[in-house]
Amino acid sequence: MEKRPLVWLSAAQGNTLIRGLLQPRWSLIDFDFSKPVSLFPNTPDAAKVGVLELPENVETDLPQLEKWLEAIGIIYWVAIAPEKPHSRTSTANLIVRYCSDFHTQPVDAERLNTVLGHLWGMASMKESTSHANLHDYGDLALLGSSAAIQNVHSLLRRFSATLEPVLITGESSTGKDAGARFIHNHSIRATGPLIFVNCAALPSTLTHSELFGYEKGAFTSAQQSHPGRLEQANGGTLVFSGINELHLEQQSALLRFLQEGEVQRVGSNTRISANGRVIATTTQPLQELVAVGLFRSDVYFRLGNLEVVLPPLRDRCEDIPALAQTLLEASLPGLERKRLSDAAMHCLINHSWPGNLQELQNRLRRGVLLSEQTTIEPADLGLRAPSAGRSQPSNLSLQAFRDQADHQALICSLRLSNNNLSEAARVLKISRASFYRLLEKHNPQPPSRGFRQNPTPKGDAT
């Protein structure tokens, strides 16, 4: 049986007897925390568990020991203490903070071996689940367990089963392109091309030729015929990123393709069949642009029958710890491994995130670069600690807490019901009369748009 790597952190060679009993199953990797942490070599990627052998004078060695624990960054630690750890506060605090289990001298080697094996299995399962999620959802933006992002996952899966156009709406850096990739990768078109068109970057004079192609000699620089993006997406998916930036005249040409599945190259009188599945993304709600004449209603109704609205990061704050940890571990290559302090994590969870995931990544990168310790603090992130930026909960009355809870419940229920008041009352399991009284009392601002299927307009939009 192949040996598994096991990190052994101690102030010397460690317990020779226990090490000898573990060696048939484990390949020991020794670290001496009495030495400067600057001498620390990189931990092998395969190492998932470690044994922390605590000395008698742990209080004296505590600062140095914590530096080593932070530097190694093993997923699961098991401590070996010289006596019952709860008899010393410093020892107990260290074990609670860093370890998954502890043993006291004399150590039962078989029990220790069993615990290490279980923790190895847990670490492997956690690792495989993380990799599976990254593979399944294709992008960090869609990772999370909050109700908001799980609703998005559900809609994306359902929309993947059809070839109808899909509209993905959301603020900047909420994962719209990731949503489009998810739909493509989980559809029957997954083996076909995935073509992205950045509508904001298309010059108005070249938009038609870029989308629909051109024939040789159609204009001065047309030295040979060239298929447009719509043709290139045959058998696959065409994603219009930022379709709210598409010019009105090009929207008219796009409508013909959406209705008839045909394109006509510049300089040609022949129509060519094109069957690319269309996904459009927008940072601005298209129905609002339609209302002010900046987007064609017929194109909107062709695109918006199946719509998913991606929640901003502030509406899925429970996902922030996992997102931040994943970014620190996987998205900041080449930088020293660091962790967030409790205060820093509290600041991240309570920040309003106008820049969404891009801002989160930028602040974490800033924190890694500016922090002089292995722990990132609020100031390193460019955020104020909670005590500096907001009143303490102790200053609030019980009624104030209740009012805050009522207000948040109203916002959430309206979001989940897509602003349908009767449905929102059912979500909260209260009568409509009670819901109206709460609404009149708190008068919440309109919530972020929820997930919906817009009704198809009467008649054919042409």
Q: Is the sign of the CA dihedral 327, 332, 338, 342 positive or negative?
A: negative
Out of 252, 281, 309, a domain closes at 309
- Residue recorded with tokens 């317990």: 15
Give a yes or no: residue 457 inside a domain. no
172 shares a domain with 289: yes
Per-residue pLDDT reduced to its tens digit, 286-317? 999 999 899 999 999 999 899 999 999 999 98
Does 335 have pLDDT greater than 60? yes
pLDDT of residue 415: 67
Give a yes or no: residue 413 inside a domain. yes
Range of 204's domain?
141-309
Number of domains present in the structure of the chain = 4
129 shares a domain with 199: no
124 shares a domain with 42: yes
Label residue 419 left, alpha or beta by phi (over 0 means left) and psi (-120 to 50 means alpha). left
152 shares a domain with 301: yes
302 shares a domain with 198: yes
| Domain containing residue 88: CATH number | 3.40.50.2300
Give a yes or no: residue 333 inside a domain. yes
Taking the C-alpha atoms of 359, 360, 366 and 367 in order, what is their torsion angle to the nearest 10 degrees? 150
Joined together, the tokens standing for residue 187 give 């559809």
Whole-number Å distance between alpha carbons of 233 and 69: 51
- Residue recorded with tokens 């903070």: 97
Angle (nearest 5°) at CA 90 between 372 and 119? 80
Per-residue pLDDT reduced to its tens digit, 194-250? 999 888 887 766 777 888 888 887 777 777 888 888 888 999 999 999 999 888 888
Least confident of 97-101, 172-176, 254-258, 419-423: 419-423
Joined together, the tokens standing for residue 321 give 């710890």
300 shares a domain with 158: yes
pLDDT of residue 332: 57
Arithmetic mean of pLDDT over the chain: 79
358 shares a domain with 242: no
Neighbour-count burial for 113-122, b at 16+ CB within 10 Å, e otherwise: bebbeebbee
347 shares a domain with 298: no
For residue 12, CA distances in Å to 35, 54, 73 come to: 10, 10, 20
Q: Which residues contact 41 (CB under 8 A, 6 or more apart)?
A: none
253 shares a domain with 148: yes
Does 165 have pLDDT greater than 90? yes
Give a yes or no: residue 188 inside a domain. yes
124 shares a domain with 152: no
Give a yes or no: residue 456 inside a domain. no
| Domain containing residue 265: CATH number | 3.40.50.300
Q: Which residues contact 460 (CB under 8 A, 6 or more apart)?
A: none
Least confident of 7-16, 104-113, 161-170, 363-372: 7-16
192 shares a domain with 110: no
